[in-house]
Amino acid sequence: MPVGAALPIVQSCEATACAYNGEHHCHAAAITIGDSGTAPCETFMSADLRGGVDSGDAQVGACKQAACVHNENLECTAEEISVDTSGASAVCLTYAPR
């Protein structure tokens, strides 16, 4: 992804227990996808508080999932991603192994 290119947006998020989730949308300014086998959203935080920004779309700021077809130099190249819950965590549904 070239420097200055638009970051992928988080199109939908079903992790409703996350402090950044509001009406199935992520309100974090940017999220990080981790490098475990499940491609976890490392920004996920279960809390009674609600946080984040009210306007705009959350973006994928970093992706540590080097084994994903959408990953180039640890940056996500997908146009958008979706996030859902898996047990007690949130995962990137757009993850696809190479």
Domain residue spans of the chain? 9-92
Structure tokens at 63: 């992706």
This prediction's pTM: 0.90
Question: Which pLDDT tens digits describe the chain residue by residue (98 residues)?
Answer: 555 568 999 999 999 999 999 999 999 999 999 998 899 999 999 988 889 988 768 999 999 999 999 999 999 999 999 999 999 999 999 999 99
Report CA Rg, the chain.
Answer: 12
